Amino acid sequence: MTPPPEWLRPEDHVVLDRVTKSFGRVEVLKGIDIRFKRHQTAVLIGGSGAGKTTLLRLLIGLDKATSGCVWVDGEDITPLGEVAMNRVRKKFGMVFQYAALLDSLTVLDNVAFPLREHRKDMSEKQVRDKVVTMLEDLGLLNKEKYMPSELSGGQRKRVGLARALMLQPEVLVYDEPTSGLDPHTSRLVDDLIEETRDRFNVTSVVISHDMTSCFRIAHQAYLLIDGKVAAAGTPEQLASGEHEASRAFIAASGIHPASIQRIVQG
């Protein structure tokens, strides 16, 4: 095992160090340096083709970096084999863009799926009790018998989040969590992300193109353009700092940062 470098700090939960990723001759990620700090919310923003999805896959171990290191809790995961990677993947929970619920299963069975797959030591009663408790915690009281088609968009997001939390991950990764939602529901999802971070003491990584969401929830924001980190800092620094690329991206989104009410204080 490669010892962690001296510059890694205890608050560095996940760190990408000079990471590149190529597919054939096409370099998708080009020297990415990012620190995701423990128990904070980081938002990765950028347009289509910026490299956000590729970066997400590297984070959760579905792909390996072509070069560079991905440090998780002080361990470089890039050289790990499949057995060791499965151990690391358990530290991550994934909340998919459209919740990715199985339409043929009830809410209870959707949320119970990770426990039934990975916790063979639990009885069916223990599984059910854990699921019902989590649903209640996330405002889904008495919804366990519902089918996904009977839920609102916001409720589906909550069910997806409940499923992601079942194995008690340290890091929650959200893939475009407000995509396809109306503005009101999108802001409720922002609130949910921060409530979850605070209540379950997790590190949150949000992949998004929603600048309003970024300004409401991010402790740190990273703007990806053409496979590079074009700007990094608090949302306020991206809006008013020296990074021309970030100011242009924010202007193109049509939002007015000063009018957005922050959930977290940078």
Does a structural domain hold residue 30?
A: yes
CATH of residue 34: 3.40.50.300
List the domain range (segments joined by +) for residue 44: 12-91+169-257
How confident is the model over 84-122, as pLDDT tens digits?
A: 998 999 899 988 876 678 889 999 999 999 899 888 889
At 162-203, the pLDDT tens digits run 999 999 999 999 998 888 778 888 888 899 899 889 989 999
Give the tens place of pLDDT for each residue, 194-253.
988 998 999 999 999 888 899 899 999 999 999 999 999 998 888 877 777 787 887 777
* 143 within domain boundaries: no
User: Is the pLDDT reported for residue 264 higher than 80?
Assistant: no
Work out the pLDDT band at 79, boundaries 50, 70, 90: very high
In a domain, 198, yes or no: yes
Q: Rounded to whole angstroms, how far apart are CA atoms 161 and 99?
A: 8
The predicted structure's pLDDT at residue 229: 95
Specify if 135 maps to a domain.
no
144 lies in a domain? no
Name the nearest CA neighbour of 96 among 161, 175, 173. 175
Is there a domain that residue 162 lies in? no
Q: How far apart are CA 222 and CA 238, in angstroms?
A: 9
Sign of CA dihedral 163, 167, 168, 171: negative
- Number of domains the chain contains: 1
261 secondary structure, DSSP code: P
DSSP state string for 51-103:
SHHHHHHHHTTSS--SEEEEEETTEE-TT--HHHHHHHHTTEEEE-TTTT--T
CB-based burial label for 202 (10 Å; 0-12, 13-18, 19+): buried
Residue at 191 is within a domain:
yes
Residue 246 CA to its chain's centroid (Å): 21
Rg (CA), the chain: 19
Which are the contacts of 220, defined by CB distance < 8 A and separation ≥ 6?
Answer: 35, 36, 37, 40, 42, 43, 232, 233, 234
Q: How many CB atoms lie within 10 A of CB 45?
A: 28
- In degrees, rounded to 5, the angle at the alpha carbon of residue 40 between the alpha carbons of residues 232 and 234 is 30
| Secondary structure of residue 175 in the 3-state scheme | strand
Evaluate whether residue 236 is within a structural domain. Answer: yes
Range scoring the smallest mean pLDDT among 59-63, 84-88, 260-264: 260-264
Of 38, 77, 81, 74, nearest to 57 by C-alpha is: 77
